[in-house]
Structure 1
Amino acid sequence: MVSLWGSRKDDPDSAEAQGQNAENAHDFEQNSEHQEPTERTSLLPREETHRFLSPDDPAVSPYNLWSVRALRAFSLCALGISFVWWTFLLVSIFVSPPLMHARGSGFFAFSYTTLAVIYLVLGLLFFAVPSKQMTIWGGIFSLILLVNMIIIISVPRIRLEEGWVGIASVVWAAVVSMYQIAQNRAVTWGKREEEERLTGREETRRSLREWMAVLCEMIILIIMAIAVVLFTSTLILRARDASLEPRGRLYSVHGNAYNVHLVCIGNRTANDPDQPTILLEGGEGPVEHTLQPFIDDTYQHGVINRYCYWDRPGLGWSDNAPSPHSAGMSADVLSEALALADESGPWVVVSAGVGSIYSRLFASRHLLEVSGIFLIDPLHESYLDDVGQPGRGFVLWLRGIISPLGLDRLAGAIIRGRTREDRTIGRSAYQTGKFIKAKLQENLVAVTMTAAEVQSARHIQMGETPLVVVSSGQKILQDSHWAARQEDLSHITNNLLSWDVVHDAPHEVWTNGEGRQVLEKRLREMVDASRAHR
């Protein structure tokens, strides 16, 4: 191969150069005759002539050294181990293997392992073309990943969410980056040794092919460096959010596998045991950002005496649950948390949107404790097909994979001034990996486990439980099927107090003035009916 860059510093046709080459060849021949074969002399076939080779000869390669070949084999083994671990982490997003459940989303561990796999593949692709850039970038990666490791280990909340899986993944990525430095230096040494042995001196120029390889390597390394910097920035943001104290208490559930957040506001009335407690179930987002502020206003106005709310697994301050996780499992976890908090009702379950599925399941499993069901523009079980669409699941998975980059969260914090509250329980909560994982879990079992649980709940719901349904007029005007299903939900018990359609109200009915008035009025009636029912 003829190089397109550079020329020999020494003219090979000069008399002095020819004399020096002849002398070197003579010394090489004498040494070869009197010395035992070594690593550098035994791997190539011995020739009768021992002239120096051209630097472009394929025989001039670091692969001639068994130590370099052994290093490449070790890199292949490391890549195999990384790929197996990467596969386990990919599967754990959908089904949690034993002992591998992370209380967080698990997307960070997957991202670190992906980084390690790419780095090992890159090192193998350009194994025979070592460069100083590879060594420099390896040092940068190692330093930044060590910072990531320190953040994960030093912040208790992040350490708990990532667990041993996340810690092991970031440590492995850091070890791989350090190993790449050692590999690059070892191959550089081997390349120099073989060039000096076979050509008489070290080769300092590069061919066009080598320059193109270095360029491609640099582009990939820069992209990886940007990703690592974004990982670190997102971790710093998570550490900042972890300092936000929960409003209630965290209860360890499901065999201490994860924690859920539960809050109860108001005091029990000892002389009125039939006074119900409102039990809130959030809708599509965190309950603190949707329904809880309205219910808190009714509490302040004296409409209700006491209420409790919780964060479903993966929302707010609650950890993610192991996969798969259905709505019925969430209802059971809520029951466990209430028992641990020594809360026993009677309950009036109040919910909106998709949260109505969860509250109906809870009501069907606590027939004697639930004395009222209050549904606000509820999601009918026939719409679970939309929740469980494969396309929606793929988009959620893809969002989860790129969530460690934190592009939306970082932009919101830097440009829009989003606060800790916004990212944890507010308008930006949907951007977090935990939230995305919870929605992905909801999608995966919507048409299978959750649909079957809702059908069973409808069969066993107590018929005399008071029921109120308040629907969005906008949704009904947009979708006639929605109107029919809202009417169907008004028959889940035989004791319908009212079914109201608030004409100008959106899906979140409480954000409309007329909707708030209707909800407050019906909630007061529900409390009275609940006491009479008890």
Structure 2
Amino acid sequence: MVSLWGTKKNGGDEQEQDEDGQRPNTSSSSTRSRDPPRQSEDTNERSSLLPQQQQRQRRGPEYLSPDDPAVSPYNLWSVRFLRAFELIFLVITFLWWVLLLVSIFVSPPKFNSRGSGFFDFAFTTLTVGNLLVGLIFFAVPSSAMSILSMATSVLLLIDMIIILAVPQIRVEEGWVGIASVVWAALIGFYNVLTNRTVKWGKAEEEERLTGRQETRRTLKEWLAIMVATVIMVVFVIIVVLMTGTLVLRSRDATVQPMGEKFLVDGDKYAVHVACVGDQTYNEDGSPKPTVLLEGGYMPVEHTFEDWVYDARQNGTIDRYCWWDRPGIAFSENAPSPHSGGMAANALSEALAIKGEEGPFILVGAGIGGIYSRIFSARNVRNIVGIMQIDALHEDLLHRVSNPGHGFILWGRGVISPLGLDRLAGTLFKGRKKEDRVYGKTSYQGGKFIKNKLQENLVADSLTKSEVHSARNIQQPDVPLVVISSGRHMKTDSEWEKKQEDLTKITDNLLAWEVVGKAPSEEVWRVKEGRDALEHWLGKLYNYGMKPKSQEQE
């Protein structure tokens, strides 16, 4: 019988063969353990990526396919470190972003931006986006990304120089805004360094593992580069707009207020107070009243002050003062939250620093009526008259604090650093710096928007509670005049009822006059309204000059 197996002598060793003369498969784990693979002398971390079988048997250089996942810049420790630091920077920046987001609604100590509104938040949001793009497209570097990242960084560096060079902007931004723009610029330059390092590492690994630098790109890589480029172009446009807005702010900083600015609330922010006319005195030496104006939605200088100026020119009154609430016109933003009572305290402090002791006739329009009533209750000895001009009632504060309106205000604030409307108005409509500071376009600024957001957040809670308390404290004998818009009352029955209730905030109502053709909250826009306002302001002024004995009679 013919044997199926034969023997083959090879150097004294016998090995079994099958009938075709081939070795049987004996590559068991025990056999592999007895015959371990022989490592080449130049084996290291990088060469170990090549297949071991090829390392043992190759007679010449053998390389990986360019599509092999092992061909990656992540093989280099320098690239890994750069990516790890980018992740750390993203975590730090995100935590800073969250803190700035919270500070819009509740300001931690030393975190209030006194006049910028939302610039620090905008810089940090841009930095988060820059880091995310760098991480998502980390392994797909391109020249376009390097160029665009460099352009973004240079523009941010220019923003930093503007903020530091203009004293008013430097004060308004504070250390928070300065830190945010410096960090944004540094991250931009870091991304440029990372992109170039990864590009170098990718070429190095391709030459080592595939024998040449790969110049082709897959469709997936081209799509990634295209998306990253589009995003970076958007970032460049955003920074260009922010730089333009900062240039406008530097121009606006040259507008000087008529009055003075006073630091209040422990020097946390400054408010603007201005007076027209010198203090005059009665025959008995007592000071004559000063009319104190509290504006509505817009700054006093733009909409409200002109008819009072005419009243002084006509001799109806001798002197008047006004102030800008925090965030409006020349006044800086207050920390959040900021209620009507906090505003009244700020006004009292500023007047005390200025040396204004009253007595005062309070004239408030729109929501300014709420603020003037709170101020009156907290300064009862110095108030000799109150005029409410189509003023908001405390029971209607829920209209101001509507959540949907608050979200819109927040959204407007977030994009306000882009200055879309302000830049367009300046370039195409010839808007001047006075318009932007206290004029008809002042509502477009982030500082103004933050003021309205602060009003929205606490109007139906803190401010409503404060004005209810003020009603109980209010001196009942203070003379009161209520002027209402007839057009407003015809279109809003609830407003009409609340206007009537305002006539009862004191027991000494001199008049309630309804101006039929006057627009809502701007009675002075029509001649009939201006005449009524000046007439009754004169009555209050004369009443306030009477000695107490004559008032009682």
TM-score interval, normalised by the smaller of the two chains = over 0.9
Contact 2:279 2:287 (8 Å CA) reproduced: no
Q: Distance in 2 between matches of 1:106 and 1:284?
A: 17
Could you say what secondary structure the match of 2:302 adopts? Answer: coil
Residue 279 of structure 2 corresponds to residue 268 of structure 1 = yes
Q: Distance in 2 between matches of 1:533 and 1:401?
A: 53
The farther-off stretch of 523-532 and 340-349 is 523-532
Could you say what secondary structure the match of 1:483 adopts? Answer: helix
1:431 Cα deviation after fit: 0.2
Query: Which residue number in structure 2 is paired with residue 466 of structure 1?
Result: 479
Q: Distance in 1 between matches of 2:174 and 2:140?
A: 38
Could you say what secondary structure the match of 1:448 adopts? Answer: helix
Query: Which residue number in structure 2 is paired with residue 35 of structure 1?
Result: 42
The share of aligned pairs that are identical, in percent, is: 55
Query: Which residue number in structure 2 is paired with residue 350 of structure 1?
Result: 363
Q: Distance in 1 between matches of 2:313 and 2:117?
A: 40
Alignment of 1:2-401 (within 5 A): 33-35=40-42, 37-38=44-45, 40-41=46-47, 44=49, 47-50=52-55, 51-270=62-281, 271=283, 272-401=285-414
1:45 Cα deviation after fit: 6.8
1:300 Cα deviation after fit: 1.1
Contact 2:291 2:362 (8 Å CA) reproduced: yes
1:67 Cα deviation after fit: 2.2
1:48 Cα deviation after fit: 2.1
1:160 Cα deviation after fit: 0.6
Query: Which residue number in structure 2 is paired with residue 20 of structure 1?
Result: none
1:99 Cα deviation after fit: 1.7
Query: Which residue number in structure 1 is paired with residue 537 of structure 2?
Result: 523
Q: Distance in 2 between matches of 1:234 and 1:368?
A: 45
Could you say what secondary structure the match of 2:386 adopts? Answer: strand
**Over residues 254-302 of structure 1, what are the superposed CA-to-partner deviations in whole Å (9 max), with x where a residue is unaligned?**
0000100000111112445241000000111101011111111111111
1:343 Cα deviation after fit: 0.4
Q: Distance in 2 between matches of 1:286 and 1:195?
A: 65
Contact 2:156 2:181 (8 Å CA) reproduced: yes
The residue identity in structure 2 corresponding to 1:373 is I
Query: Which residue number in structure 1 is paired with residue 23 of structure 2?
Result: none
Residue 417 of structure 2 corresponds to residue 404 of structure 1 = yes
**Over residues 148-197 of structure 1, what are the superposed CA-to-partner deviations in whole Å (9 max), with x where a residue is unaligned?**
00100001111111111111111111001100111011111111111111
Contact 2:50 2:64 (8 Å CA) reproduced: no
1:341 Cα deviation after fit: 0.2
The residue identity in structure 2 corresponding to 1:459 is N
1:499 Cα deviation after fit: 0.4
**Over residues 106-133 of structure 1, what are the superposed CA-to-partner deviations in whole Å (9 max), with x where a residue is unaligned?**
4111111111111111011111111111
1:142 Cα deviation after fit: 1.4
Q: Distance in 2 between matches of 1:267 and 1:75?
A: 62
Could you say what secondary structure the match of 1:250 adopts? Answer: strand
Structure-1-length-normalised TM-score:
0.92
1:41 Cα deviation after fit: 3.1
Q: Distance in 1 between matches of 2:263 and 2:118?
A: 22
Query: Which residue number in structure 2 is paired with residue 514 of structure 1?
Result: 528
Could you say what secondary structure the match of 2:271 adopts? Answer: strand
Unaligned runs of 5+ in 2: 1-38, 56-61, 549-553
Could you say what secondary structure the match of 1:269 adopts? Answer: coil
**Over residues 4-57 of structure 1, what are the superposed CA-to-partner deviations in whole Å (9 max), with x where a residue is unaligned?**
xxxxxxxxxxxxxxxxxxxxxxxxxxxx8333625x235x37512042111111
Q: Distance in 1 between matches of 2:360 and 2:165?
A: 41
Contact 2:117 2:333 (8 Å CA) reproduced: no
Q: Distance in 2 between matches of 1:299 and 1:47?
A: 97
**Over residues 370-391 of structure 1, what are the superposed CA-to-partner deviations in whole Å (9 max), with x where a residue is unaligned?**
0000111111111100000100
1:481 Cα deviation after fit: 1.3
Contact 1:107 1:403 (8 Å CA) reproduced: yes
Give 4+ residue runs of structure 1 displaced > 4 Å after superposition.
none
Q: Distance in 1 between matches of 2:547 and 2:517?
A: 32
Task: Mark the structure with the bigger radius of gyration.
Answer: 2
Q: Distance in 2 between matches of 1:295 and 1:106?
A: 31
Q: Distance in 2 between matches of 1:432 and 1:76?
A: 34
Q: Distance in 2 between matches of 1:106 and 1:418?
A: 21
Structure-2-length-normalised TM-score:
0.89
**Over residues 45-87 of structure 1, what are the superposed CA-to-partner deviations in whole Å (9 max), with x where a residue is unaligned?**
7512042111111111111222212211111001101100111
Could you say what secondary structure the match of 1:449 adopts? Answer: helix
Contact 2:337 2:458 (8 Å CA) reproduced: yes
**Over residues 208-248 of structure 1, what are the superposed CA-to-partner deviations in whole Å (9 max), with x where a residue is unaligned?**
11111111011101111110100000000111101101111
Contact 1:371 1:533 (8 Å CA) reproduced: no
Contact 1:61 1:194 (8 Å CA) reproduced: yes
Aligned residues: 501
Q: Distance in 2 between matches of 1:117 and 1:521?
A: 58
Q: Distance in 1 between matches of 2:185 and 2:289?
A: 55
Superposed CA RMSD: 1.2
Q: Distance in 2 between matches of 1:192 and 1:533?
A: 92
1:368 Cα deviation after fit: 0.9
Contact 2:118 2:413 (8 Å CA) reproduced: yes
The residue identity in structure 2 corresponding to 1:48 is Q
1:528 Cα deviation after fit: 1.3
The residue identity in structure 1 corresponding to 2:47 is T
Contact 1:465 1:533 (8 Å CA) reproduced: no
